[in-house]
Amino acid sequence: MIVVLSRNATSKEKELVKQYLAGRGFTVRDQRFGDDDILGTSGRGTVDIQELTILPGVERVAATSKPYELASRETRSEDTMVTVGASSSSPGVTIGGSRITVIAGPCAVEGRSQIMETAAMVRESGAVLLRGGAYKPQTSPYAFQGLGFKGLEYMKEAGEACGMPIVTEVVSPELAVRMKDLVDMFQIGARNMQNFELLKKVGSFGMPVLLKRGPSATIEEWLLSAEYLLASGSGNVVLCERGIRTFETYTRNTLDISAIPVVKGLSHLPVIVDPSHAVGIRDKVSPAALAAIAAGADGLTLEVHPRPDEALSDGPQSLFPEQFERLMRDVEALAPVVGKELLRTPRPAPAGGAGLSGQKGVTGQASGSGEGGKIAFSGESGAYAEQALMRAFGEEAPRLPVPFFRSIFDAVLDGSAAYGVVPVENSLTGTVHENYDLFLRYPDIAIAGELKLRIVHCLIANPKAEMGDIKIVRSHPQGFAQCKDFLDKHPEWRLEACNDTATAAASIAREGALDAAAIGSEAAASLRALKVLKAGIETNPLNYTRFLVVSRRQGGAIPPGLGSEKANKASLVFSVSDEPGSLFACLKILSDRGLNLSKLESRPIQGKPWEYLFYVDLSIPEDPGVFDAALAELKTKARDFHFLGTYRASL
């Protein structure tokens, strides 16, 4: 059992709680967990939990059946998010939640130029944290032992040059003290997982720690080692599965995939996977990495070397740069399947922020009031658009819920929101025409980014309702359309359309009726303490919605991770003259330059019956000059040409 003290508990109140517990047969320990002051207990005492909970100075009491109390999910049900490298000038990199975080770098720092080159390369492919060993605990005394402190200095320099916090292994309590100021996240290696003096020392710094699983450690032993770190004062522990010793010798170790869901169930701490040390064979690293993501890992740590054949340590398992780039793209594509998104380092915004080759006004670059501005979405809390927003801007991003899609455009235009998130297309039910039309009605609004969200619909009701009670179901018409097979099994249900799925869920909670249910997200249910009667009721699990991030056109900042990424996609709208071959002539301009079209859609022009506008999405080629030239020619051929924006395509 642990007792979490209130933030404003006085030392006298704390003392009285301790005496209360000691008087009932417990041994009491003072502990810290993140910002919380905690009393840990052991022994065979008995206590009335309710009486203990109302003592002055007590915030809450958590009884656990596990020996690792602080690491246990019984103590803390929500996922812990660990932030690495936060400073006054940077928000740092977060591990956990709905993001997938990738740490990459060489096994060992071999020299200044090697780590600088590797850092730049892995960052370019999207890694957000830099790894590398300066002190290498090698199995053989003749293997490369690392450059020591000099290596750490090189690594820090490389991390700073690329804007990546660094993760490096520490092998002794004495070195931990020396290394502390240069390191953003300490790694406790597999061989040291049960070096308890090291755990206590590193834990006492309160810094982020990556705790690798020992090759022969059970899950419980691993979590008890995490408990050492937490009990010593670090609330920022990330667990790392890196393969265990089994009878199989083909691979270096055996990646314990099942440990990922098991540990995520037992503990609130983030879990990442090191497929490099798990399999030890370069070609097996990527499949193992993807399996780890599919199994629910919060991230990966990977060994990458510019020239693995020349690596001084672990060359055979180090990825070539191209393999790493490919893997990152695969992870990015897989992430939405498990409801996550790859966290990428924002690339610096292109200077000028206008045409791709510097031509002003050509690309409609994203703008807005920048950092600190709100992001508008249509609906209430728990709407899918809000989930998309959190993916794009982070869980803490300030939000502005508005009633209609057009209110998003209004809010961005009048500056009450810096950005807006609008759904434009669903993989099952097609285009959200209203939003495409709004781009024309709001010519000052541009597209700044794109993302795809997997939509998992749930049937949500009041906690006491059962499936048999339901007579009415509310949702957005798209929600009904996407769950058609499920709804067809209940023809007796009356369907009531709402503006959005979260509004539908809110009405169920407000009215409290047992015969009404909503179709919406799990988040919409849990936010309102509603029950999920059935999850995953969408007809096809490959149900994705594409959202566009919009912003105002002139000047201003570009959202991190969106407009600041290298743009590779553009959207435009045009109409053509009413004569044979006019559409063909426009498309030929793109085709002649090898530009790839990913979408072509026609929409009636309002007020001009039987005349149409064409909405086009296309890839931007490597050579921006080709793109700018195509646009210039297109403008001369097309009528009513509008450039909607350039942005980074979401996979």
**From the list ligand PEP, Mn ion, none, which binds 189 (C-beta under 5 to 8 Å, kind-based)?**
ligand PEP
Nearest residue (CB) to ligand PEP, 133 versus 561: 133
**Among ligand PEP, Mn ion, none, partner that 242 touches (CB below 5 to 8 angstroms by kind):** ligand PEP
CB of 188 to ligand PEP, least distance (A): 8
In the numeric block, the tokens 């939509």 are attached to: 455
CB of 169 to ligand PEP, least distance (A): 6
| Helix-, strand-, coil-residue percentages of the chain, each rounded to 5 | 30, 25, 40
Q: Can you point out the beta strands (E) in 437-561?
A: 445-454, 458-461, 472-475, 494-497, 516-520, 531-535, 544-552
| Interaction partner, residue 565 (Mn ion, ligand PEP, none; CB < 5-8 Å by kind) | none
Return all residues near 396 (Cβ < 8 A) that are at least 6 apart: none
User: Which residue, 190 or 576, has its beta carbon nearer to ligand PEP?
Assistant: 190
277 lies in the binding site for ligand PEP (CB under 6 A): yes
Dist CA 119 CA 314 (whole Å)? 17
Rg (CA), the chain: 27
Least separation, in Å, of the C-beta of 133 and Mn ion? Answer: 7
Q: Is 107 in the site for ligand PEP (CB under 6 A)?
A: yes
Q: How far is the CB of 221 from ligand PEP (least distance, A)?
A: 15
Instruction: Determine whether 363 is an active site residue.
Output: no
SS (H, E, C) 218-282: CHHHHHHHHHHHHHCCCCCEEEEECCECCCCCCCCCECCCCHHHHHHHHECCCEEECHHHHHCCH
Least distance to Mn ion from the beta carbon of 388, Å? 37
Residue 189 found at the interface with ligand PEP (CB under 6 A): yes
DSSP at 195: -
Residue 399 binds which entry of ligand PEP, Mn ion, none, with Cβ cut-offs from 5 to 8 Å by kind? Answer: none
Q: Which lies closer to ligand PEP via its Cβ, residue 73 or residue 282?
A: 282
Which listed range, 5-13, 187-195, 514-522, 618-626, lies at the site for ligand PEP (CB under 6 A)? 187-195
Q: Count of residues binding ligand PEP (CB under 6 A)?
A: 10
Residue partners of 62: CB distance under 8 A and separation at least 6: 1, 2, 4, 69, 74, 75, 76
* Binding residues among 167-186 for ligand PEP as defined by CB under 6 A: 169
Q: Indicate which of Mn ion, ligand PEP, none lies near residue 190 (CB less than 5 to 8 Å, by partner kind).
A: ligand PEP
Among 212, 268, 282, 552, binds ligand PEP (CB under 6 A): 212
Region of 437 on the Ramachandran plot (φ > 0 left; ψ -120 to 50 alpha; else beta): alpha
Alpha-carbon distance 185 to 536, whole Å? 38
Task: By CB under 6 A, tell whether 133 contacts ligand PEP.
Answer: yes
Identify the residue whose tokens are 């996609």.
569
- Taking the least distance from each CB to ligand PEP, the nearer of 270 and 560 is 270
552 binds, among Mn ion, ligand PEP, none (CB under 5 to 8 A by kind): none
Closest distance to ligand PEP from the beta carbon of 248 (Å): 17
Maximum Cα–Cα distance across the chain: 94
Quote the CA–CA distance of 146 and 62 in Å, as a whole number.
44
Which residues 6+ apart lie within 8 Å of 122 measured at CB? Answer: 104, 105, 130, 304, 321, 324
Tally of helices (H runs) and strands (E runs) in the chain? 20, 30
Annotated active-site residue in 547, 574, 614, 643 = 547
Nearest residue (CB) to Mn ion, 189 versus 561 = 189
Query: How many angstroms separate the CA atoms of 321 and 327, rounded?
Result: 10
Between CA 651 and CA 642 the distance in angstroms is: 25
- Our finding on whether 242 is near ligand PEP (CB under 6 A) is yes
- Contact residues: Mn ion, CB under 5 A: 107, 314
Question: Per residue, what are the HEC states of 45-77?
Answer: CCCCHHHHHCCCCEEEEECCCCCCCCCECCCCC
Minimum CB distance to ligand PEP, residue 107 (Å): 5
Q: Which does 328 bind (CB under 5 to 8 A by kind): ligand PEP, Mn ion, none?
A: none
Residue (311 or 334) nearer to ligand PEP, CB: 311
Measured from the CB atom, the residue of 274 and 522 that comes closer to ligand PEP is 274
Cβ 402 vs Cβ 412: under 8 Å: no
Between 214 and 561, CB nearer to Mn ion: 214
Does 545 qualify as catalytic in the annotation? yes
Q: Taking the complex as a whole, how short is the minimal distance between the CB of residue 118 and Mn ion, in angstroms? A: 13
Binding residues for ligand PEP, rule: CB under 6 A, are: 107, 133, 169, 189-191, 212, 242, 274, 277
**Residues assigned a catalytic role:** 545, 547
